[in-house]
Amino acid sequence: MIPPSKASYIFYQVAIQLPTDLLIKLGTVGLILVVTWIVSRLLGSFVSKAVGKFGSGVARQARHIMTWLVWIIGILIGLNQLGLELTVLLLIVTLGGIIIAIALRDVLLNVASNGVITSYKPFKVGDWIKVDNCFGRVLDINWMETVLMTPDNEMVYIPNSRITQSIVINRTAPGGIRISVPLIVDKTLDLTEVEQTLLEIGAELREELIPDSKPEVRVTAIEPHFVKVALLLRINNPAKSKLLASDVRKKAKKRLDAIQSKTPP
């Protein structure tokens, strides 16, 4: 066993053999890493709070990215202190930036699309819109997505980037929206009587109609054994379109059957 005095002497001899500048560099790198840790926590917390309005998921991702970015910069500065070439550092930083841009591609697209939506305002909260096969009332427009409530009370979350790349139909207008209720009637029935019956049914729904609007009847096709007609209504609430169409069909079936029963063969 080496005596304590002998061990101390050996350690001293090894220490004095190390270049003084290397010890200074190692100390500097250690200090840089400590500062990097402190800065990463401070900036990560700041960025998380700054983007918290975009959603918890975005805030968490932004914090992770900022933390990694600070650590990359800190490590690069530390390696530079050890003599690593500046061109290599710049190459690493460039590659890191490309990786971050790729990782944030969807986030950046959605944020940019939100700017387009808020600038051109093709719709606003409360409007009834159709995006591809999704139809509903706009509940919220945030940085990442647009939230719709369908007539069946289902929540639909559509990324903003998809909206800017799709055809958007805004069915909300000062005059409400017009719905068409298609019906098939027997060709033996008097079309004038059929039209009058359908207009009466439409008038009974006046509480659901736009003020001063009137129901209309259109003949859409005449076949050998039946006639296709449509009752046109301009309603206030698009969410009731299916319900109103169902009511119209029920009443039309009952009344047209009654008319047909009175028609001689």
pLDDT digits (tens, 9 = 90+) for 146-192: 999 888 888 999 999 899 888 898 877 666 778 889 999 988 888 88
- Identical fold at 122-170 and 177-262? no
Q: Where do the H-state alpha helices sit in the chain?
A: 4-17, 20-50, 56-81, 86-103, 105-120, 160-164, 191-203, 241-262
Q: Is pTM, for the whole model, over 0.85?
A: no
Q: Lowest-confidence range among 36-50, 135-149, 186-200?
A: 36-50
Catalogue the E-assigned strands of 116-186: 128-131, 134-141, 145-149, 155-159, 168-170, 177-186
Q: Which CATH architecture has domain 177-262?
A: 2-Layer Sandwich (3.30)
At residue 10, does pLDDT exceed 50? Answer: no
For the chain, the structural domain boundaries read: 4-103, 122-170, 177-262
CATH number of 122-170: 2.30.30.60
